[in-house]
Amino acid sequence: MHSDHREYWKFTSRSRLEKSVNSLLGIIEGITMDGVINSSEITFLNIWIDEHTDVRDCHPYNELIPVVQDALADSVLTPDECDDILWLCERLRSTNYYDKITADLQRLHAVLGGIIADGKITETELRGLSSWLQEHEHLKTCWPYDEVDSLITVVMRDHKISEQEHEMLKSFFSEFVDLMDDRTITNPAVSEDMNIVGLCAVCPEIEFQGSKFCFTGASSRYTRASLATTVEDLGGKVASSVTKSINYLVIGADGNPCWAYACYGRKVEKAVALRKSGVRVLIVHENDFHDAVADEG
């Protein structure tokens, strides 16, 4: 801990405790997702220990850290040792300070960090991550659940990860490696020569009554005016710009699951920034919007 922060320890120790336990839980889940634990992943787990050296004599770290260190003593982490650590983390986890959603989002961040710890993302890990997401659907609408869910759906459509897709996944997942940092994503998960994927929610639940919609991109089927009329007829409202008050940003892209970043820069960037800050604005594809309209009859 930096010396400048010590005087504030009494105000943050409880939150730091719960976040660090959630992170350890997620790391173990992430590095074991493919059934193989390599030296890079062991190193990543040791980083967690190093970050808690200053509190190793405080409860409950004085119980937790020795268990982790003993498990890593031979530089091998067996399934039984993983289970022991997971069991202890679950006993130490608390939702007194953080609600369940916040705690599980911290856990998701660490899962992503654990997966990318060895610099390689495999199909097995993505399938395991998809299963994890299905078991934690209460995180839907929260950053980065929808983005991760959508990325997996797009990448695994052909049941393999291409070189370009792997680089995109690495770029996205790597932003979650800093365990105790409060940041989430600071840059778009694309480089200048990539397309954006993984932005739109998968099978989103869209409610029209009382909701506010914003549209970006050209629709392949309707004019912007007719889209606005449809929303208003179903009890919703339409906004011309992305603000904290909107519930949905609808992207029109002729049914294409990928969009060139330059085409949708401003509104998409604002919506992503709002999601990062905790605003539950959903980014949805035009096709899902039309499906929701049809469901309304």
Of 156, 173, 188, which residue is a domain's last? 188
Residue 207 resides in a domain: no
Query: Is the same domain home to 181 and 224?
Result: no
What pLDDT was estimated at residue 98?
56
Residue 204 resides in a domain: no
Give 10's contacts (C-beta < 8 A, 6+ positions apart): none
Residue 195 resides in a domain: no
Residue pair 202/140 in contact (Cβ under 8 Å)? The answer is no
Query: Is the same domain home to 230 and 173?
Result: no
With 90 as the cut, is the pLDDT of residue 201 above it? no
Lowest mean pLDDT segment, chosen from 27-31, 195-199, 207-211, 234-238: 195-199
Encoded tokens for 168: 């995109």
Query: Is the same domain home to 18 and 94?
Result: yes
Encoded tokens for 58: 């405080």
Domain range for residue 72?
3-188
Query: Is the same domain home to 235 and 140?
Result: no
Total domain count for the chain?
2
What does the mean pLDDT of the chain come to?
80
Query: Is the same domain home to 138 and 180?
Result: yes
Residue 201 resides in a domain: no
Residue 202 resides in a domain: no
Query: Is the same domain home to 251 and 286?
Result: yes
Distance CA(270)–CA(282), nearest Å, equals 12
Distance of CA 130 to the CA centre of its chain: 12
The 3-state DSSP class for residue 291 equals helix
Residue 230 resides in a domain: yes
Query: Considering the entire predicted model, what is its pTM?
Result: 0.70
Residue pair 258/195 in contact (Cβ under 8 Å)? The answer is yes
Give the H/E segment covering residue 284.
strand 282-285
Encoded tokens for 265: 């820069």
Residue 200 resides in a domain: no
DSSP secondary structure letters along 87-114:
HHHHHH---SSS-HHHHHHHHHHHHHHH
**143-187 pLDDT per residue, tens:** 889 889 988 988 898 999 999 889 888 888 887 776 544 433 333
With 50 as the cut, is the pLDDT of residue 256 above it? no
Query: Is the same domain home to 107 and 235?
Result: no
Residue 10 resides in a domain: yes
Distance CA(183)–CA(175), nearest Å, equals 9
The 3-state DSSP class for residue 238 equals strand
Q: What percent of the chain has pLDDT over 90?
A: 24
Q: Mean of the pLDDT values across residues 224-245?
A: 93
Query: Is the same domain home to 66 and 165?
Result: yes
Query: Is the same domain home to 154 and 273?
Result: no
Q: What is the length of the chain?
A: 297
The 3-state DSSP class for residue 195 equals strand
CATH of the domain at 279: 3.40.50.10190
Distance CA(220)–CA(217), nearest Å, equals 9
| Strands of 104-196, DSSP E | 195-196
**Nearest to 168, CA basis, from 133, 200, 193:** 193
Per-residue pLDDT band for 142 (boundaries 50, 70, 90) equals: confident
Distance CA(281)–CA(206), nearest Å, equals 11
| Strands of the chain, DSSP E | 195-196, 212-216, 237-238, 248-251, 259-260, 282-285
Q: How many helices (H) and strands (E) in the chain? A: 11, 6
Q: Higher model confidence: residue 73 or residue 54?
A: 73
Query: Is the same domain home to 123 and 233?
Result: no
Q: Mean of the pLDDT values across residues 244-273?
A: 71
